Amino acid sequence: MSRKNLRLLVPLMSLLIALAAGSAIIAATGASPAEVFLRMARSTFGSGYGIGQVLFRATTLVFTGLAVAVPFKVRLFNIGAEGQLLAGSFAAALCGMALPAALSPIVGIPAALLAATAAGALWALAAGWLKVRHGVNEVISTIMLNFIAQAVTGYLLTNRFAVPSTVHTPPMGEGSCLPGIDALLGLSWHSPANLSSLLAVAVAGATAFLLARTRYGYTLNAAGLNPEGSRHAGIDTDARMLGAMALGGALAGLGAGNLVLGYKHWFEAGLTTGAGFMGIAVALLAGAHPVWLLLSALLFGWLDYGGLTVNTLVPKELFMIVQALTILCIISFRGISSESHSG
């Protein structure tokens, strides 16, 4: 089997195995797998509210998945999307607080999004600089930066910016908030889905174009596939690593558009709820391809919200097991494939 066909088959096989294992666990608890998955489908795609919830959860995962996918092109494993999303969300909320309430959305929304992308990019750039300058493994540094982001935002929130007796900042001005899907399309879903879902699709398409159709994208791929050869060809591989990490961090920061500008309209403790870590799974299932990543994010968004809708039948944690098994299968199959080709 060709490598191209294998790359397409591995995620599908991994997902099927994980769903089969999840079905077996459901049956072991005494519930009917068919009933559970049928209720999940009805509760999510059978109502506007359910569809909106899936879209909302998938939107953040698109951004954090892209944050992992872009650095992967230069063979960097960005585990820090959680911290980058936190930094971006906090910066967006502070920017929205600082801007005048009567400011036009034409100015306020781009300003808040720019603050989010800049904060995410700078947070990721720290790990990139440590890698390029001192050879520090990016997996270790991005994990540590996640903890630092959590500590810094938690401290600043608690001691400086939180509304008294709450765990959130003051609301942003209306000029910095994204409209909901209901207002945009005249629907009555009453879900948290908002304009950032369309932004996520546009950003994924733009990222795919950048990586596949531009000179810069070509040099990113070349630097990842053959760093030594790329250097001899005149490509600054260190700059490409820094650029990929900064772009990944900026994409993670854009997730603030969904969580802060489009939903909460403030920053609060526990806002990201592990979306950065789940983005790793989304990117791996999609093979780090920005377009396939849209479908991968929808799947994980469905599992995330769908698990809540059947919580009376089976524990929600069971679907976290399905997600984890999917990624374990992908890693295992690719490892076995690499060994067979090298042998």
Q: Express each pLDDT in 33-89 by its tens digit.
A: 999 999 999 999 999 999 999 999 999 999 999 999 999 999 999 999 999 999 999
pLDDT value for 192: 96
Instruction: Say if residue 161's pLDDT is above 60.
Output: yes
pLDDT value for 334: 66
> Which whole number is the average pLDDT over 81-109?
96
pLDDT value for 316: 84
Instruction: Say if residue 1's pLDDT is above 70.
Output: no
Among the ranges given (241-255, 299-313, 318-332), the one the predictor scored with the smallest mean pLDDT = 318-332
Q: What is the mean pLDDT of the chain?
A: 92
pLDDT value for 14: 84
* Length reported for the chain: 343
Q: Residue 339: which residues within 8 A CB-CB, separation 6 or more?
A: none
Residue with the bigger pLDDT between 311 and 257: it is: 257
Q: How far apart are CA 9 and CA 20, in angstroms?
A: 16
pLDDT value for 49: 95
Q: In this structure, is the dihedral angle defined by the CA atoms of residues 51, 57, 58 and 59, taken in order, positive or negative? A: positive
State in Å, rounded, how far the first CA of the chain is from the last one: 15
Instruction: Say if residue 329's pLDDT is above 90.
Output: no
Instruction: Say if residue 101's pLDDT is above 90.
Output: no
Q: In this structure, are residues 308 and 90 in contact, taking their beta carbons and an 8 Å threshold?
A: no
Instruction: Say if residue 341's pLDDT is above 60.
Output: no
Tell me the two tokens of residue 193. Answer: 């889905």
Model-wide pTM > 0.85: yes
Q: Quote the Cα angle for 131-244-140, to 5°.
A: 35
Q: How far apart are CA 113 and CA 56, in angstroms?
A: 17
Tell me the two tokens of residue 139. Answer: 């997996």
List phi, psi (to 5°) of 152. Answer: -65, -50
Give the rounded percent of residues in the chain with a pLDDT score beyond 90: 79
pLDDT value for 320: 85
Give the rounded percent of residues in the chain with a pLDDT score beyond 70: 95
